[in-house]
């Protein structure tokens, strides 16, 4: 397998499953990278996490590696070679192919290990392009609440995936709850983290947790019992 060059796309991304024939969300096709795959049974979308999509199921927290192409159609074993390298390192992938090249989606927590495995195999990985943080202005309270309101499906998925219902059910103080929620901040889309700080995100989640996860009774959010 010849050495390849990869670039890391600005992310993170979410993989969605929506109903066939559903209307595509606004802003999707103007994204630098997205993917739409459909069949009679489902419609799958890969999109930046900043785009709110009402999906039947979703899996957030993916980074994307682009194989710098174009790649010829008669290239044999390229994707198999990449997946073998990553499988040897116990890294699961979600692959997307376009007319010119391939994209390898990897969970964010596996990105460092993936870069190590690929470079050890002789491939090169370019650094991701950084967002200009000076180009944005922090939002006021009303604006950030409105923005986070659109991210409730993502926040719910992060709470369930990264903390878990069982762990949430053991949190008996708002301080412990805030500390747990604060750990999710790094998994938010970059565009949101540039305009909403960690404290604002934590405060919003703690105040609205009953709406975000109404099906899970969390002791820290339950009213205190009155003593007799």
Mean pLDDT of 1-15: 88
* Domains of the chain listed by start with CATH number: 5-126 (3.30.2130.10), 133-221 (no CATH)
pLDDT digits over 83-142, tens only?
999 999 999 999 999 888 999 999 999 999 999 999 999 999 987 654 343 434 455 667
pTM: 0.56
| Confidence (pLDDT) at 146 | 84
Residues in the chain: 228
Q: Are 49 and 11 in contact (CB under 8 A)?
A: yes
| 156 or 223, higher pLDDT | 156
Strands (E), the chain: 5-8, 13-18, 35-38, 43-48, 57-67, 94-97, 102-107, 124-126
Q: Is pLDDT of 21 > 50?
A: yes
């Amino acid at each position: 397998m010849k050495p390849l060059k990869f670039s890391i796309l600005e992310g993170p991304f979410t993989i969605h499953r929506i109903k066939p024939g559903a209307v595509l969300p606004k802003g999707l096709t103007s994204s630098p990278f997205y993917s739409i795959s459909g069949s009679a049974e489902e419609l799958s979308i890969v999109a930046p996490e900043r785009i709110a999509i009402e999906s039947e199921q979703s899996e957030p927290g993916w980074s994307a590696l682009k194989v710098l192409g174009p790649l010829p159609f008669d290239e044999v074993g390229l994707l198999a070679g990449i997946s073998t390298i990553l499988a040897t390192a116990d890294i699961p992938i979600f692959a997307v192919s376009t007319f010119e090249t391939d994209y390898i989606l990897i969970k964010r927590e596996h990105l460092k290990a993936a870069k190590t495995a690929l470079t050890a195999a002789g491939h090169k990985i370019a650094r991701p392009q950084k967002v200009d943080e000076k180009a944005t202005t922090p939002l006021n309270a009303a604006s950030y609440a409105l923005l986070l309101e659109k991210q409730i499906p993502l926040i719910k998925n992060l709470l369930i995936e990264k903390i878990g219902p069982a762990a949430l059910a053991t949190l008996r103080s708002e301080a412990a709850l805030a500390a747990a929620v604060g750990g999710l901040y790094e998994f938010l889309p970059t565009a949101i983290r540039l305009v909403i700080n960690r404290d604002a995100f934590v405060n919003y989640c703690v105040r609205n947790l009953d709406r975000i996860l109404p099906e899970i009774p969390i002791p820290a959010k339950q009213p205190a019992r009155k003593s007799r």
